[in-house]
Amino acid sequence: MYDVLVVGSANADLTVRVNRRPGAGETALGTDLVESAGGKGANQAAAAARLGVRTALLAKVGDDAYGELLLAAQRAAGTGLRHVLVEKGARTGTAMIVVDPDGDNSIVVSPGANALLSPAEVAAAREVIAASAVVSLQLEIPYGTVREVVRIARETGTRVVLNPSPTPEELDPEFFAAADPLIVNKHEARWLTQLHCGGPDEWARALRKAGARSVVITLGERGALVLEEGAAEPVRLPGIEVEAVDTTGAGDAFTGALAGRLAAGTSLVEAARFAVRVGAAAVTKPGAQPSYPTLSELPG
């Protein structure tokens, strides 16, 4: 039915730009507040759909103005919305984002309706999970709900792409076993492996030893590192030099693009190589979903 089914969060992003991100107890003046569509799940779905991938989103929003904003953004991207649930009386999830002049950001998420997406609602969508080539997951929805998706995907043979973010204290071994690939940035890789003095190669090997079938570590402007299932050594993929405006949602753009290529049968290395291009394009414009490229907008 779909190439990619994304099960995850949908948030309204409230973004303000500052000359310098404030420290503890400090107040800073910023620009006018910008409201846009975000959330790791919705971001990944929009990124894949804008690239022409048949994509659906399974998520939950509130029956408020932010919920309407998120649904409109997904429609514009071309995402299938049949499985997005609207919770009456609930507040849509919200992310408060502060962006500095280098494009780096700090984010605080208030889950709202995302916290209400239940394992039972996921179980009711078993048929669409089974009919999708790839299911893409993150951890901005309840842990038990993610576990139910993993269980169904493993039973039905659907490939699982997992970005364990926000990073938990300890990742469920069942999640490691399902991840093909496990996608983490360098901070998440260091946290999950507890190898504070290591580097991407060591982190990738440690994550696969922990149970992940394959591993992708995103390295920002330095590209990405891929350790495929059965490979002895990781493959480093170079970054693409661009002028960064806002890094918000760039990792989600990478993950959505990678999931779409895997669904089309591309190897993990080539899927990640393509995703590096998509992630690079995403940092050249402000916002998360508003920055996501179509195929014609990708850098070389």
- As annotated, the active-site residues are 252
Burial class (CB in 10 A: 0-12, 13-18, 19+), 153: buried
Which ranges constitute the DSSP H helices of the chain?
A: 40-50, 65-77, 119-123, 126-131, 143-156, 173-178, 186-193, 200-209, 250-263, 268-282
The string of DSSP letters for 41-89 reads: HHHHHHHHHHTT--EEEEEEEESSHHHHHHHHHHHHHT-B-TTEEEETT
Strand pairing partners for 224? 218, 237
**Any binding-site annotation on 39?**
yes
| Annotated binding-site residue? 12 | yes
Ligand-binding site membership of 105 (annotated): no
C-alpha distance from residue 81 to each of 35, 60, 98, 244 (Å): 21, 11, 29, 31
Establish whether 209 is an annotated binding residue: no
CA distance 87 to 201: 43
The response to whether 120 counts as a known ligand-binding position is no
Query: 256 a known binding residue?
Result: no
The sign one gets for the Cα dihedral 177, 54, 117, 141 is: positive
Known binding residue 186? Answer is no
| 276/254 Cα distance (integer angstroms) | 6
- Report which secondary-structure segment, H or E, holds 1: none
For residue 266, say whether it is annotated as part of any ligand binding site: no
Helix (H, G, I), strand (E, B) or coil at 5: strand
Q: Is 11 annotated as a binding residue?
A: yes
Is 132 annotated as belonging to a binding site? no
- Ordered strands of the 55-62 beta sheet: 84-87, 55-62, 4-7, 134-137, 159-162, 179-185, 215-218, 224-227, 235-237
Q: Has 239 been labeled as part of a binding site?
A: no
The reply to whether 282 sits in an annotated binding site is yes
The Cα 210–Cα 6 span in angstroms is 24
Establish whether 41 is an annotated binding residue. Answer: yes
**Annotated binding residue 185:** yes
220 is in an annotated binding site: yes
Q: How far apart are CA 53 and CA 25, in angstroms?
A: 45
Known binding-site positions:
11-13, 39-43, 140, 185, 218-223, 246, 248, 251-252, 282, 285, 287, 291
Known binding-site positions for ATP:
185, 218-223, 251-252
Known binding-site positions for K(+):
246, 248, 282, 285, 287, 291
Known binding-site positions for substrate:
11-13, 39-43, 140, 252
